[in-house]
């Protein structure tokens, strides 16, 4: 019976992962993998539901190509064009974008309250000239932090769930040779990251949970 249940759950998770485009690593441990697969299945369902809700609530922004949603290997990625969030060369969020960020914050709190969130800043490859930043790294990091602070200080997202990083110009998604490509590369990505824990049995019979890394940039 247990073997049959395991097989059924494994099939559900494999189908869900294939459908969503996410990839996860499950490490073999001493305990049955059933608990791991059940946990992973719940997280896949949560991410899929969050994506559906965001598609509905951000329909106008998505239609206007201001926001993109994608289920990627590292998790559910919500991509904001930097030109929408910030003035050129600035890291202060435009007030008119607050309602859009508020929609994302609601989903983070209500639909995926237990998952980590990574905020990634990116720029194009144009050198800093007049804005005063030391580098594109600094600009991308400050922009990621601006979004992080808004989510924590204004929307009440638990700080322990969030992390921020700036990649500068080094993770482009389009060619920097065209104006359109550079605009796509200037972006902030809010990544909802799936997590998985394994139970390690100690020699004394005690149990402790250790994080198992999912394929992505944040844990």
CATH number for position 139: 3.30.1330.60
Question: Could you tell me the residue range of the domain that residue 169 belongs to?
Answer: 48-212
In a domain, residue 124? The reply is yes
Q: What is the reported pLDDT for 120? A: 98
Q: What is the reported pLDDT for 8? A: 44
Q: What is the reported pLDDT for 33? A: 63
Question: How would you write the pLDDT of the chain (219 residues) with one tens digit per residue?
Answer: 444 444 444 444 444 444 444 554 555 554 556 777 777 788 888 999 999 999 999 999 999 999 999 999 899 999 999 999 999 999 999 999 999 999 999 999 999 999 999 999 999 999 998 889 999 999 999 999 999 999 999 999 999 999 999 999 999 999 999 999 999 999 999 999 987 543 233 233 444 444 444 444 443
In a domain, residue 187? The reply is yes
Rounded CA Rg of the chain: 19
E strand or H helix at 17, and its extent? Answer: helix 2-20
In a domain, residue 186? The reply is yes
Angstrom distance (rounded) from CA 62 to CA 27: 37
In a domain, residue 38? The reply is no
Give CA angle at 20 (17, 24), nearest 5°: 40
In terms of Cα–Cα distance, which of 11, 57, 54, 16 is closest to 34?
11
- Whole-prediction pTM: 0.77
In a domain, residue 36? The reply is no
Looking at the structure of the chain, the number of domains it has is 1
E strand or H helix at 127, and its extent? Answer: none
Angstrom distance (rounded) from CA 51 to CA 191: 12
Q: What is the reported pLDDT for 212? A: 45
Angstrom distance (rounded) from CA 78 to CA 192: 8
Is residue 107 within 8 A of residue 57, CB to CB? The reply is yes
In a domain, residue 7? The reply is no
Is residue 191 within 8 A of residue 74, CB to CB? The reply is yes
Q: What is the reported pLDDT for 203? A: 32
């Amino acid at each position: 019976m247990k073997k049959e249940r395991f097989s059924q759950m494994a099939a559900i998770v494999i189908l869900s992962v294939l459908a969503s485009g996410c990839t996860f690593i499950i490490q073999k441990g001493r305990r049955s993998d059933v608990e791991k697969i059940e946990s992973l299945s719940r997280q896949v369902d949560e991410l899929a539901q969050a994506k559906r809700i965001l598609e509905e609530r951000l329909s106008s922004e998505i239609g206007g190509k201001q926001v993109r949603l994608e289920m990627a290997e590292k998790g559910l990625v919500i991509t904001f064009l930097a030109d929408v969030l910030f003035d050129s060369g600035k890291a202060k969020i435009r007030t008119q974008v607050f309602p859009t960020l508020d929609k994302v914050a609601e989903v983070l709190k209500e639909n995926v309250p237990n998952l980590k969130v990574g905020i990634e800043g990116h720029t194009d490859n144009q050198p800093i000239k007049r804005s005063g930043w030391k580098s594109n790294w600094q600009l991308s990091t400050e922009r990621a932090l601006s979004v992080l602070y808004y989510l924590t200080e204004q929307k009440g997202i638990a700080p322990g769930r969030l992390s921020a990083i700036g990649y500068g110009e080094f993770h482009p998604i389009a060619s920097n040779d065209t104006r359109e490509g550079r605009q796509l590369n200037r972006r902030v990505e809010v990544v909802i990251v799936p997590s998985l824990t394994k139970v390690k049995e100690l020699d004394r019979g005690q149990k402790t949970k250790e994080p198992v890394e999912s394929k992505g940039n944040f844990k």
